Structure 1
Amino acid sequence: MKIAHLILAHSEPGQLARLIRALEHPDAYFFLHIDAKASLDPFRFLAARERVFLLNERVKVGWGAYSIVQATINGFRAIAASDLSIDYVNLLSGSDYPLKYPDEIHRFFQEHQPDNFMQYELVMEDWKEAIPRLTEYHLTNYAFPGKYMVQKWMNKLLPARQVPDHLVPVGRSQWMSLTMDAVRFILQYLDSHPRFVNFFKHTWAPDELVFQTILYNSDFRAKMVNDNLRYIRWLEGKASPEILTETDLTKLLNSGAIFARKFDVLSSSGLLDQLDKKILNHT
């Protein structure tokens, strides 16, 4: 069972190295997209590790912009172009951490082929707060003076947007674990549907919608499991998940999740040490 961990990171190379160490396995490979806004130099030492690859095609990632979708796609393409015969692609951020031993992780995916693990809800029925993302124009992915004024007038003067090809929009968390077959299908779909790509370039936070929508409207729907295998603690009204600390240890260990986020190099250091001791037997 070969797993490619695609990790999106922008800072804290030491924390990223710790994440890789926690996931190391003879059949684990690491493809790292380092935000183009950050210097690559502090991360170059990671490429000296076995089975670790730094992506050459980097983008400047903006919060809520299509750029994070593009960063993910660049990783997908690098994995697909490799000669590694990958079975699963596991999307992580640099602030994630595993809650299981690497052998357990690989065994889990071996036993659950060909399932694809991603959180999703029907936007028009269950996640209605996301409807304006689709019906209104958003210029989050662009940088030019006065863009928000342009966006305002576009939404005043133009008709409401509609998802191309009558697709049923679904989505939620961007973090997911997909079979390589699903990843190849996504890449083929994006290459052959430029209207779909253009639509989501004008959508706010499309990373939470693009991949779920493609698979849900295909034969892969039957192989989608509505579980992203992550423990993430949200507080109502907050746009970002809470930083996990030692007070979360028991909940993490009892969650049944395989991965968790979000960890901070300072606030979560004690928790990471406890996880290493209890899960990885590292001291």
Structure 2
Amino acid sequence: MRMAYLILAHDNRAQLDLLIERLLGPGGEDFAVIHADRASPLWPELRASLPEAAGRVHLVADPVAVRWGHSSLVEAIAKLVREAVRLGSEGAHLISGADWPVTPREAIAQTMREGLCHIEVRPGHMEERMQTFRLDTRWLRLDPARDRRAYAATWELRRLARWVDAARNRLGLPRSRPYGLWAYGSGWWSLPADVLAMLDKEMPRLLTSGRLRGTVCSDEHVVPTLVAHAFPERIAAHRRYVDFPAGASSPRMLTAADLPAIASSGAWFARKVDVTHEPDFLTLPDFHPAPMAHPASMRGKLPVSGQA
């Protein structure tokens, strides 16, 4: 089975190189596609030099500048999906540059051959993100200490948006649900080829329609909703190990202490991981049947702690 690893990345080139080496290994047909945030220093760095993997690493040539919570992330994912379809993958995994595979590759491929959609789908959860219209979606992560005036202005924009939404609802004109009730999912998934082909058709259409304007974290709703609409009978466990602290908007960085829980979880990928500071993740079972470099041989590639 020819699998594609679709990677959203914006920093930590050392980690990305190790991840690519782990995913692709020697030989094989699998490939990786990287979307490097256009606004990040990683983008020009990767344009100059891709990770070495015998032509099996591809870079999205026209990336977008990604803003947290903004539909630009949906656009980035759509570009990755398009490349996976164009290059002929039989299944793809959407991961970040801070993910790490925690199950051997052949075990993943064997399950992927069943054609199921390994994705989190929670119909109706936080649907207000998609049904209200926010006017401040370009400035969702302002620091109130540094951007006091702009932060105050965004609250006024939110107040105006609430008034517009209330008026629309009174007139019986709620925002559309083109695929039925919006679903929620963590955003990281593993999908077979026919589902990728559906996404490659529907995601650009949704982006072009303008329906995602004013939404918040639409990347956590678009793909789960499309999959639930088109393939409801094929939804399966999403196979990701992620730990969100209470009240946090981002998962915490995993450590060696998490390895037993990860091993017993049945997950295929874990995030967030930084093997340049937690090399114990390199001791996980080999991702490929063929021998990989022993963790001890990687030490020269790992920066000394505190020297990222």
Residue type of the partner of 2:71? Y
Instruction: Specify which of 157, 161, 164 is matched with residue 150 of structure 1.
Output: 157
What is the percentage of aligned positions where both structures have the same residue?
24
Distance 1:23 1:140 in 2: 38
What is the aligned partner in structure 2 of residue 273 from structure 1? 282
Cα distance 1:24–1:193, how it changes in 2: closer, same or farther (>3 A)? closer
What is the aligned partner in structure 2 of residue 135 from structure 1? 131
Distance 1:247 1:189 in 2: 41
SS at 1:178's partner residue? strand
TM-score by length of 2: 0.79
Contact 2:275 2:282 in 1 (8 A): no
Q: How many residues are matched?
A: 270
Distance 1:139 1:91 in 2: 29
Gaps of at least 5 residues in structure 1 are none
Instruction: Specify which of 52, 58, 62 is matched with residue 57 of structure 1.
Output: 62
What is the aligned partner in structure 1 of residue 37 from structure 2? 35
Distance 1:93 1:190 in 2: 19
Verify: 1:224 aligned to 2:224, yes or no: no
Contact 2:21 2:53 in 1 (8 A): no
Distance 2:62 2:176 in 1: 28
What is the aligned partner in structure 2 of residue 69 from structure 1? 74
Residue type of the partner of 2:129? R
Instruction: Specify which of 250, 253, 264 is matched with residue 263 of structure 2.
Output: 253
Instruction: Specify which of 96, 99, 102 is matched with residue 102 of structure 2.
Output: 99
Stretches (4+) displaced over 4 A: 145-148, 191-195, 276-281
Contact 1:37 1:60 in 2 (8 A): yes
What is the aligned partner in structure 1 of residue 116 from structure 2? 115
Q: Which has the larger radius of gyration?
A: 2
Instruction: Specify which of 159, 162, 167 is matched with residue 180 of structure 2.
Output: 167
Distance 1:166 1:88 in 2: 23
Alignment RMSD, CA only? 2.5
Contact 2:104 2:285 in 1 (8 A): no
TM-score by length of 1: 0.86
Gaps of at least 5 residues in structure 2 are 140-149, 296-308
